[in-house]
Structure 1
Amino acid sequence: MIFNKGELFCGPGGLSLGAKLAEVISPSGEVFKVEHRWANDYDSFACQTFRHNICPDDPDSVIEEDIRKLDIESLPRIDAFSFGFPCNDYSSVGEKKGFNGDFGPLYSYGVKVLNIHQPLWFMAENVGGLESANEGEAFVKILSDLEQEGYNITPHLYKFHEYGVPQARQRIIIVGIRKDLELSFRVPEPTHNSNNYRTARQALEERPIPHDAPNQEYTNHQAKVIEMLRHIPPGENAWYDGLPQHLRLNVKGTKISQIYKRLHPDKPSYTVTGSGGGGTHMYHYDIPRALTNRERARLQTFPDNYKFLGGKEAVRKQIGMAVPPQGVKVIVEAILKTFAGVPYNFVEAKWTFNYDPELDETNLIKNKVKENTPEYLTL
């Protein structure tokens, strides 16, 4: 069975690449997989990257348009849908305006796609801060709106380092399956634990980056920055106590932990981000320099031939905002197994959500999920 998938807020294609890599064979031998049908984003460089890598033979299927102007009704029929709605107003980094911000309400366009096109299943992705935005009301409202379009939904906080991603990255992903199908999605069991997390060194050194790999431009650092990095041990940042006085930053107030923070070679990296000024570009554990965009893409599990288009900072933004394809692949495979009737190991979702139409009441239960994340990976 082929699921033709549409996507809003597609970015450079992390969700679509992960879905494209997933494939399941049913007990009868039928192949279950996902194929791209259409996608939308307002960022020109992200759309160029998506076209180049995901659908080079069908560039017109990627619509560069402000979501508020997109004609959703005219989009082709789809069986599956994904949308990583903008996280700016839900992120723990920032004012956390939620529905009161410019981006918070944009999830409603994903709800509109569900209402009009009624795909068999969907995936919605956002930051962990969504849970507490607007004192928790935003999360419940979003879940309620998705459920009332006719879907059984399973919201969970995925820790991607538990699924083979060499990076401490946590995201809420909501999986919905149409109620009339009478199928139950389960959160796939983590594939990695503290004994075998993929590390920054493995990501960057298991195989050399090809000499002709795209997005491998190096940053030209000032001599003082290089000297400072030489004094910062792996895993430490600009606030390291052993840093000589003349190299210390003159900062008052909050000291952000990621400023000039060097990776630790034997642990997953800290979270790859797409914004921020000097000192936030992620720094190599062995060489006194910032990571290249290609190295950041490796921490995000993009293959080396995945070319990001645009200038250096535009590429950095795309990589930081993307969803790690390897993590997505595991989740989509679980969805495909659900449809194919293939059993798999699963764990309890972090939340259970129910809606009672007779009482018009929502019920969000936070389950007691076992926490096994080492302290050094707690964000």
Structure 2
Amino acid sequence: MGELFSGPGGIALGAHAAAAATGVDLRHAWANDYDASAVETYRANIPGATAQSVIHGDVRDLDVESLPKIDGFAFGFPCNDYSMIGESKGLDGNFGPLYKYGVNVLDAHRPNWFVAENVSGLQTANAGLAFPRILEELRHAGPGYELTPHLYKFEEYGVPQRRHRIIIVGLSRENGARFAVPAPTHKDPTTWKSVRNALGGLVQSAPNNERTRQSKVVEERLAYINPGQNAFNAALPDHLKLNVKGATFSQIYRRLHPDLPSYTITGSGGGGTHGYHWEEVRALTNRERARIQTFPDTFVFKGSKEQVRKQVGMAVPPDGAEVIFSALFRTLRGEDYDSVPMNLTQMGAPSRP
């Protein structure tokens, strides 16, 4: 498997776990990312990864045709311009067009399968025109691919976090197979994994578990915010209210609810966006964020505290990736599994019942 925009390795970790569980011989071929600390993390944690095979650099400078041939390909192309938070420039932004480098890999290497990932905001970018265009280019890349785009709600697959992402699985038309969306394993909200469960048993000495020192004002503000509340719906005294017009983003100083999945863990943002413990008046540590993202404690992130926060927040949850890759590998072996209809049409719009 080759990978672009590999980040710290959430997709790869999930893919290797799925391969081990299904008896597939999955081997790392190469990966690329522009973030130096993420590259170091990937090299340190992903089976088969080396200093030579995990390439640090801008994808626009990468000679994809010279890379070793691959059977499968994964790419979580940059979501910055497709996120519903921010300017949402889509294809007109600096990052939006970078999916084309994934298309270039498909043209050059013609892998049997690929898995692409992006945020749910991809559906509405450029007035709804970006997603169909991307699907069309992926469909006709390389040997031609049968696509199965789906908006996955990872809390329905055992991830202790409400994280919704579009995953596009493509199978070469030469395979004659079609991927089916794996059925949710935790469809009933009463079965969702909670953050209390996710963070249980964490010891202070765990790697990447350094705490952020909170100011007295932040500690006082958090003390007034109940689990599940944020700085705008809690009963804060006037001197602790945030005097920012229109800034009602629901995650600002939002404390986790211990008996529910976390809200979406993010990789960037200023004060109030770090995720906050339900009981202690503090921000989450990077290890706590990593657990919510389903990285095991043995997965050690490289870089500064802020660099690690970015890596964790931008990653695909390995447990979510494992579910999708397990279904993919079973599809390639001709095995049946529980599935559901895809909820996005081939043109990118939500499918109708």
Into which bin does the TM-score normalised by the smaller protein fall? over 0.9
From 163, 166, 171, the equivalent of 1:177 is: 171
Matches of 1:143 and 1:237, distance apart in 2: 37
Q: What is the percent sequence identity of the aligned residues?
A: 56
Gaps of 5+ in 1: 354-362, 370-379
1:5-57 Cα deviation digits (max 9, x unpaired): 0000000000000001003778xxxx324221110001100100100111476
1:81-111 Cα deviation digits (max 9, x unpaired): 0000001111100111111101111100100
Cα offset for 1:365? 5.8
Q: Which residue of 2 aligns with 1:213?
A: 206
Matches of 2:262 and 2:348, distance apart in 1: 32
State the SS of the aligned residue for 1:154: strand
What TM-score, normalized by structure 2, do the two folds share?
A: 0.96
Q: Which residue of 1 aligns with 2:329?
A: 336
Aligned-pair RMSD on alpha carbons?
Answer: 1.4
Q: Which residue of 2 aligns with 1:121?
A: 113
Gaps of 5+ in 2: none
Matches of 1:365 and 1:270, distance apart in 2: 25
Q: Which residue of 2 aligns with 1:6?
A: 2
Letter in 1 for 2:231: A
Cα offset for 1:261? 0.4
Matches of 2:207 and 2:65, distance apart in 1: 37
> 1:209-358 residue pairs with structure 2 within 5 A?
209-353=202-346
Letter in 1 for 2:69: R
Matches of 2:345 and 2:220, distance apart in 1: 51
Cα offset for 1:251? 1.9
Cα offset for 1:167? 0.3
Cα offset for 1:72? 0.4
Letter in 2 for 1:319: V
Could you say if the C-alpha distance between residues 343 and 56 of structure 1 is closer, same or farther in structure 2, counting changes exceeding 3 Å?
closer
Residues 25, 340 of structure 1: 8 Å contact kept: no
Query: Is it true that 1:97 corresponds to 2:93 in the alignment?
Result: no
Query: Is it true that 1:159 corresponds to 2:153 in the alignment?
Result: yes
Matches of 2:255 and 2:82, distance apart in 1: 27
Cα offset for 1:342? 1.4
Query: Is it true that 1:368 corresponds to 2:352 in the alignment?
Result: yes
Letter in 1 for 2:350: K
Matches of 2:219 and 2:240, distance apart in 1: 10
Could you say if the C-alpha distance between residues 116 and 313 of structure 1 is closer, same or farther in structure 2, counting changes exceeding 3 Å?
same
Could you say if the C-alpha distance between residues 305 and 335 of structure 1 is closer, same or farther in structure 2, counting changes exceeding 3 Å?
same
Residues 89, 97 of structure 1: 8 Å contact kept: yes
Matches of 2:299 and 2:154, distance apart in 1: 20
1:109-148 Cα deviation digits (max 9, x unpaired): 1001001101110000000000111111110110000000
Cα offset for 1:70? 0.3
State the SS of the aligned residue for 1:287: coil
Between structures 1 and 2, the one with greater strand share: 1
Query: Is it true that 1:198 corresponds to 2:182 in the alignment?
Result: no
Q: Which residue of 2 aligns with 1:15?
A: 11
Residues 6, 33 of structure 2: 8 Å contact kept: yes
Matches of 1:16 and 1:23, distance apart in 2: 10
Matches of 1:80 and 1:56, distance apart in 2: 15
Cα offset for 1:223? 1.0
Matches of 1:296 and 1:252, distance apart in 2: 29
Residues 274, 316 of structure 1: 8 Å contact kept: yes
Matches of 1:111 and 1:309, distance apart in 2: 30
Residues 169, 270 of structure 1: 8 Å contact kept: yes
Matches of 2:205 and 2:298, distance apart in 1: 9
State the SS of the aligned residue for 1:366: coil
State the SS of the aligned residue for 2:28: strand
Cα offset for 1:368? 3.0
Residues 82, 119 of structure 2: 8 Å contact kept: yes
What TM-score, normalized by structure 1, do the two folds share?
A: 0.90
Could you say if the C-alpha distance between residues 269 and 178 of structure 1 is closer, same or farther in structure 2, counting changes exceeding 3 Å?
same
